[in-house]
Structure 1
Amino acid sequence: MKVLIIEDDVRLADVIRRTLAEAGYATNVAHDVPGGIEAYEVDATYDLVVLDLMLPGPGLATDELGGMRVCRRIREIDTSVPVLMLTALDGMRTKVEGLDAGADDYLVKPFHLVELLARVRALLRRSPQAQAPVLSVSGVTLDASTRTAERAGRRIQLTAKEFAVLEYLMRNAGRIVSSTELIDHAWDSNYEGFSNVVQTYIRYLRQKLTAGGEPDVIETRRGSGYVIEQSATDQQSGPSE
């Protein structure tokens, strides 16, 4: 799952980014109106947007709130992506204007990070494009709501990043997924770590998924990527674009 964070408070944006990353979300960050609009125009494949209401930006009218402008532009591009608006303004008029601009939910500053995560999960569940919460592919079951995995009755403990990689492969069962695509959806788009990070996490997943003596379900297609094949009895929601 990919989340775009648009927040001008650099420290708060980093706290939100780290919180979401630790929960298994890939994140990108922008800090003003032009940056937020550009981030979404360049890559409109985000599953959710966390948007600060009082964003700075050039050309704003005296009483215009930058977050409203960004929200309206996002809605011109995509009418269904969930938008969680952050604001220090708790007035009813402001909330109504934000909802009318296209926001799906409000979170008033200061807030607890556990509530932020709960709001994010709730919005993703309510999204018209919400994915099936429980996936079952090649004998592996993945519950996105509880972030747990099982195989042959055996509970498999996964790190947040392992879960993100496995979830994306299972949601795209039957299709070869490249390393670049996995990095784009499980890591930040600005990821600059070591080049074999995907290969490393695939190895971790294989070790855990086959710990009970089960056959390997992740196939390597050399020069192309990785695939988990699906059967007629598998339950999954279709490709995650």
Structure 2
Amino acid sequence: MTILVIEDEPKTGDYLQRGLAESGFAVRLARNGRDGLAIAREGDIELVVLDVMLPRMDGWQVLEALRADPETEHVPVLFLTARDEVHDRVRGLELGADDYLVKPFAFVELVARIRTLLRRGPVREEELIRIADLEIDVIRRRVRRAGTAIVLTAQEFALLHLLARRQGQVLSRALIASQVWDMNFDSDTNVIDAAVRRLRRKIDDPFPNKLIHTRRGMGYVCETDPCEPEPAPGP
């Protein structure tokens, strides 16, 4: 597994590079955001550990660029930063980060979080999920609706996959937070609601038959709207 560390503070960068190498990972180190993005786009990176305050290109911009590129949109990103305000954590998650760890940190916790992110993957017993005219190719991480390809970020795909494989079940915000972001749900933030809104814009808004529904006070469910007709089966 090759991990890219993007960290401009020399001691911290060297410490992370040495410690992760000793933990069994191949490590590449970039000292600024622009170089880090270039390395990530080379295609051999399994996970990115990303600081926010970086020269030449800050962590927010790097993450946005990664998520906008089909070649890197699914690469897990873990923010490792001294910015510990709630709105910073929320912004990172909303932009598509997979985890957020605040400095100072325990190295064993960082390694545990990295291994958790690297273990995540498609549910192999079900390669293709179909709901109405929505198709989710779990292995290739591709989504189509009514024959149209839909590009999702890594977290949008994880959220859709969770809702779809538990079709018909109302999932609480706490469950979604723990399954998709590996975090405890904080009722003072709207990370889950904002993520669902973004997913709906891509999955539901362009189509008449809505699949993602809100159950007020309970959570979200993926199912064919009983008020909408099912599409006619193909020949």
TM-score (norm 1): 0.48
Higher relative contact order (CA 8 A, sep 6+): 1
